Structure 1
Amino acid sequence: MILFREPDLVLDDTTVSPVSRAQNRVGICTACDGYLLSLGYYRHAGRWMVAARCSACSRALLMVYGDDWSWIEDLPLVVDEVNRHEPAITSLRVSEVPQERLEVVFTPAEIRDMIAFQEGRPYVRQNLYRARAKLERFERLFGVRIEL
């Protein structure tokens, strides 16, 4: 069993620390076609390993590569959820989110048009498109999902 205990990997009683914790899209999930996002990059026993999790179905796996980054195999990965200290994600309407938080990610025009959209008033479609592209970043920063 290979265990991911953030930020380390536990391989047969050996703890391996990450070389990098960069979060990148590293592939497509074979279970649901969602994006695989890296949790960490590791170097162990002459191999490169990338721990990844599907952004859609949360399936986790360890992608194993040779020294030259040629793919070797994918292995199931167990994520230790006990050590995770992420706040629960709450869903709010734009008008319920403090203005200061919104201003960190969105422009005034995007905020205005997200509120207008939710209230059924006229809005600029391009501002709403730009705002939707930033929703994931806002959720990651503040643990709040904005309902649009």
Structure 2
Amino acid sequence: MEYRYDLNEKTLYIDENRIPAHSLENNEIGNCTNCDSILMSLSYHATGEYMAVITRCTSCGAFYANIYDSDWNWVDEIQVMLLPIPIPISNPVIDSWEDLKNVPIKKLEAVFSKGEIEALFDRAKDRTPVRQYLYRARKKYELFEEIFDLRLEL
């Protein structure tokens, strides 16, 4: 059987069976077979007649499924493969009126002045913005992206 684990969703996959966590308690479970350091639990999964406790070594970072029977007697330890975590290649791009109007105004106000926000909306609507405000706003695009993970291209 292949044991795979999704760190984002805290979900265990045994072969093609998806088993969500029923508990996310952090407990010391035992010692790592690789380096003898402490194993800490990440999540608990009921797998029929057994309980699978997903653990991570505090030293070497190895992941295991520790298998227990219904009386919490240790049965087995199985190394777990992690599912890849999707990493966005780039931040979402705001380059149209439709995109800009969906950005919460509080986010815009956190970085831009009122005049700069008006200039951004004018530019997005293909109207002539106040040039100085648009120029100042564009100097803050990088800061806005750093804070909110949204790239402005207006």
For the aligned pair, the TM-score class normalised by the smaller chain equals 0.5 to 0.7
Answer with 1 or 2: which has the greater Rg. Answer: 2
Contact 1:5 1:83 in 2 (8 A): no
- Per the TM alignment, residue 31 of structure 1 is displaced from its structure 2 partner at its CA by 1.3
- Per the TM alignment, residue 83 of structure 1 is displaced from its structure 2 partner at its CA by 4.9
- Match of residue 9, structure 1, among 5, 9, 12: 12
Alignment of 1:60 onto 2:63: yes
- Partner of residue 29, structure 1: 32
Runs of 4+ in 1 over 4 A off after TM superposition: none
Cα distance per residue 1:45-97 (max 9 Å; x no partner): 1111100010100111100111111111111111224159xxxxxxxxxxxxx
Per the normalisation by structure 2, the TM-score is: 0.51
| Pair 71,58 (structure 1): closer, same or farther in 2 beyond 3 Å | same
Counting only pairs closer than 5 Å after superposition, residues 44-123 of structure 1 correspond to structure 2 as 44-83=47-86
Contact 1:37 1:54 in 2 (8 A): yes
- Per the TM alignment, residue 19 of structure 1 is displaced from its structure 2 partner at its CA by 1.3
Identical pairs, percent: 25
Contact 1:2 1:12 in 2 (8 A): yes
- Partner of residue 96, structure 1: none
Per the normalisation by structure 1, the TM-score is: 0.53
Cα distance per residue 1:89-127 (max 9 Å; x no partner): xxxxxxxxxxxxxxxxxxxxxxxxxxxxxxxxxxxxxxx
- Partner of residue 42, structure 2: 39
Count of equivalent residues: 85
Which residue identity does 1:4 align to in structure 2?
A: Y
| Structure 2 unmatched ranges of 5 or more | 88-154
- Partner of residue 105, structure 1: none
| Pair 39,15 (structure 1): closer, same or farther in 2 beyond 3 Å | same
